[in-house]
Chain A
Amino acid sequence: MSPRPGYVLEVDRSTPPLLMWHGESFRLERFPSGSRVVYPPEPLKPIEDPDAAIRAALENPLGDSAPLSALLRPGMRLTIAFDDVSLPLPPMRAPDVRQRVIEAVLDAAAAAGVDDVVLVAALALHRRMTEPELRHALGNRVYDAFAPHGLLTQHDAEDPDNLVHLGLTDAGEDVEINKRAATSDLVVYVNINLVAMDGGHKSVATGLASYRSLRHHHNVHTMVHSRSFMDQEHSELHSSNWRMGRMIAASGVKVFQIETTLNNNAFPDPFSFLSRREWEWSLRDRAGYLAASASLERTPDRIRRSIFHSMRAPMGLTSVQAGEVEAVHASTTANVYRQQLVPVEGQTDILTMGLPYICPYNVNSIMNPILVMCLGLGYFFNLYRGRPLVRPGGVLILSHPTPWAFDPVFHPSYIDFFEQVLAETTDPLEIEAKYEESFATDPWYVHLYRTGHAYHGVHPFYMWYWGAHALDHLGRVIIVGGDQAAVRRLGFRSASTLTDALEMAEDVVGRDPTITHIHNPPLFMADVT
């Protein structure tokens, strides 16, 4: 039986309470009759022999590219860059797809007699990965072969000795990237495409770029004008990355792009009920829900966090394509859409969403309030094609505990951003003008980013900018069940129940509003007509 596509349910009196994510827990909520609930499509059937599919993709490249084996020769410099710990979510069950692809590339390199190979984690301004995280992404064999010799590196966007300025795009953007990559005969980029904005020229032009270069597209203007990030035809972020990518290619850096897509089989037993439609819950799903809820309720925060963060997704590979960047990305995008697009007719007055415990920037750590904002207003709000699910001036209701809590090792500049910047203003343009420079160049943050496991000092700004389009678009944001002080600091309203929040929304959108709930994750993308 083939997997069912996404589904839009209209709530009536027979509809059971629906599952809503709430950080490291979930709630069952009743929605008013007439509300719409959008469900993701069921997981696509995974490729049965992923290793064979990967080998086939390497030898049958897309676009204007020779097969990988033809690009490899003895004496060459080969750099393999790979996506970092922010993908996929949750982390996938071993072996990670990066491990499979990199092992195949290394086999090909060995067969061709290439011995100058360096691996680079394409971090951009993300935190450096820990050893267990690297071992998980690459597998022990790869890790042990490269790490002890210093050949497993993590990109450093602040290391003047290891960056090369390649020039300016015709729009005047600095293109400055990892020196090892820029001076290699071939860069193989190993990508995971969880959502439509990943991959393509963004891989190298963002993942291996310097702060000087990144700031050209990671700014408020670009982010407000990216409608949406996920929709390549309407994303300024995308256009800027594409200009840079073409400039990188034109300056002689040869990139062999490998992109993979995964199905949305995100939650293992006993959490598989998270992926199912409530009225179809089996006895086992019901038992799983009850057991999980009851035991989570009794569990202290830290342990509950580690239970969730140790969850490994049983995701399967749905496509792999390799070769020239743009041709590869076109095919990847089609594959992402195949899994994720759900047609939805018309916008809504009120959009509700439950936010889970994880987003790309808090793997193995705390989802702080800025990340709550980013996940809701940046990431999920933008999971649309065409136009936003919620109408201009509409209301967004998020459910998340939003604790006033931060990971001091991973997110040091977030603390100061929250305590100092947001205490002053939540306006992205003012924030950018008044504070970005001083955070971005703060020597302590630079030090922690380069030598510890801290996100770059400027990263919380990007998180805030990412939500700028939604801030601009929405009439009100309400967080259900959040820490009141933290929610207020974000500039949002706080409500203790969904019913209260819906009532508060009526001040903005009037009586009898239309309500749409996105039953997410597993992720999907609304194709709004």
Chain B
Amino acid sequence: MKALVFERSLARFAAARVAGSWAPGGGARVGPLHLADVDPPELPGPGWRRITPLLSGICGSDLATVDGRSSRYFEPIVSFPFVPGHELVGHLEDQPSARVVIEPVLGCEARGIFPPCEACAVGDTGGCRHVAFGHLKPGLQTGFCADTGGGWSSSLVAHESQIHPVPEGLSDDDAVMVEPTACGVHAALAAGPVSDATVAVLGSGTLGLTTLAALRRLALPGHLISSAKYPEQRRWARELGADEVVAPDGIARAVRRSTRSLAAGRVLTGGADVVVDCVGSAESIATAVAVVRPRGRVVLAGMPGVVRLDLTPLWHREVQLVGAYAYGVEHLPGRPADTASDPDLPDPGRSGSLPRTFHLALELVAEAGLGRLVGARYPLDRFTEALTHAAEAGRRGTVKVVFDLRPETRRPAWRNA
């Protein structure tokens, strides 16, 4: 089968770093990613199914990996060679009509670890204590694990605990947005209770926009400010629920205005109750800490790396800095227990009384029409172009770039890449 394979090759990795630092996404041309004809992954054991991807998204974390920008922290929890691609809609290989989305986190159940850790026991796989162990090679997610394959190929394997059926009404575009939307839902709910609060979301890429949509529909903040760099992002941010959209360098002014804060020097005396950083750069984290109110909360949703940061304001203002990585189950005040599951398909949706992030995301994608964020589709063999486009998506007026792995007959006539 055809797959984009990411090899561990220190020499190529170093080359990717150089190319990536010149132009984001440029790592694809020289880096350790190449298109290959490989054997499809073996089924690792009982409960595993073969998946044929239809659409597979390109995520910011993928770009960082390809460009050699991701932190060395990941080294022990990925295994080489791996096929990237963790945002995907596909179908069960033997059932072309059964579309599914994959929850990529590889928790205890997928790893064959029994009894599961206390997080996985309640379905909160994002908090798994056994990541990298069990009968699978290391890999925090599908798309970073040598045993599972990934979405950037024509076949991969997934454990039943990862598989969610796609409801009738969702288009392929909607479905491929479920995983990034789940990240947004998780980030939004990591903000804690925010009714009547002022929440600022930094960044309006895919994560920023899905976070906005989730905040608007699930968390109901009092005032929602978003920062967006490009005109198309501004339009989306507004459409998905921001009360106010400003340029990145205007966020401090906007927060000051809407919270009627004073300023001492360059520091706000008040600030936003919660800031969700969907960028993850040193600059955005510093901004988040600077515009959050004393005793407020900063949610780090965008993948950071090694950053230099003055923590004095964090200390002095007793700010909480919390990470928001993936998904699992959510504490959602005022919502009944999870009910979205289909008895005909493998579905791990029932997790005690807490709703699964993925189910909230499936609902949100439908409600907010998030499939519209898919702006460009490329065949696998044009991956260099695709990755370059994804890296420049904002500037080029695109939000989500995906690989289109559907047979010609299954592709809509209007596909645009």
Interface residues of A (CB under 8 A from B): 415-416, 419-420, 423, 438, 442-444, 447
Contact = CB atoms under 8 A, between A and B. Distances in A.
B260 A444 contact: yes
A230 to B, nearest CB: 34
Nearest to B261: A444
Contacts of B305: none
20 contacts: A415-B253, A416-B253, A416-B254, A416-B257, A419-B246, A419-B247, A419-B253, A420-B244, A420-B250, A420-B257, A423-B245, A423-B246, A438-B257, A442-B257, A444-B256, A444-B260, A444-B261, A444-B262, A444-B263, A447-B262
A444 B270 CA distance: 11
Nearest to A441: B260
Given A423-B245, A444-B261, 16 more contacts: A416-B253, A416-B254, A416-B257, A419-B246, A419-B247, A419-B250, A419-B254, A420-B244, A420-B250, A420-B254, A442-B257, A442-B260, A443-B260, A444-B256, A444-B262, A444-B263
A269 B262 CA distance: 46
Nearest to B225: A420
Nearest to A444: B262
B395 to A, nearest CB: 16
A442 B245 CA distance: 20
A444 B253 CA distance: 11
> Binding site of A, secondary structure by majority: helix, strand, loop or mixed?
helix
Contacts of B261: 444
Q: Do most interface residues of chain B lie in helix, strand or loop, or is the interface mixed?
A: mixed
Contacts of A423: 245-246
A419 B246 CA distance: 7
Interface of B: 244-247, 250, 253-254, 256-257, 260-263
Contacts of B244: 420
A420 B260 CA distance: 15
A442 B262 CA distance: 9
Contacts of B245: 423
Contacts of B253: 415-416, 419-420
Contacts of B260: 438, 442-444
Contacts of B256: 444
Contacts of A444: 256, 260-263
Nearest to B244: A420
B275 to A, nearest CB: 18
Contacts of B263: 444
A420 B246 contact: yes
Given A419-B246, A420-B244, A443 B262 contact: yes
Contacts of A419: 246-247, 250, 253-254
Contacts of B254: 416, 419-420
Contacts of B247: 419
Nearest to B263: A444
Nearest to B234: A423
A231 to B, nearest CB: 37
Contacts of A442: 257, 260
Contacts of B257: 416, 420, 438, 442
Nearest to A442: B260
A419 B227 CA distance: 12
A15 B305 CA distance: 67
A82 to B, nearest CB: 31
A416 B244 CA distance: 12
B263 to A, nearest CB: 6
Determine which residue in A420, A423, A443, A447 has the highest number of CB atoms from chain B within 10 A of its CB, and name it.
A420
A444 B264 CA distance: 10
A405 B263 CA distance: 21
Contacts of A420: 244, 246, 250, 253-254, 257
Contacts of B246: 419-420, 423
Contacts of A438: 257, 260
A416 B257 CA distance: 8
Closest 9 pairs between A and B when the two form their complex, measured CB to CB: A419-B250, A444-B262, A416-B257, A416-B253, A443-B260, A442-B260, A443-B262, A444-B263, A447-B262
A228 B250 CA distance: 37
Q: From B245, B247, B254, B257, name the one whose CB has the most chain A CB atoms within 10 angstroms.
A: B257
Contacts of A443: 260, 262
Interface centre among A415, A438, A443, A444 (most CB of B within 10 A): A444
Nearest to A445: B257
A420 B245 CA distance: 8
A367 B251 CA distance: 24
Contacts of A415: 253
A89 B117 CA distance: 77
A447 B260 CA distance: 12
Nearest to B245: A423
Nearest to B250: A419
A224 B263 CA distance: 36
A438 B257 CA distance: 8
A498 to B, nearest CB: 29
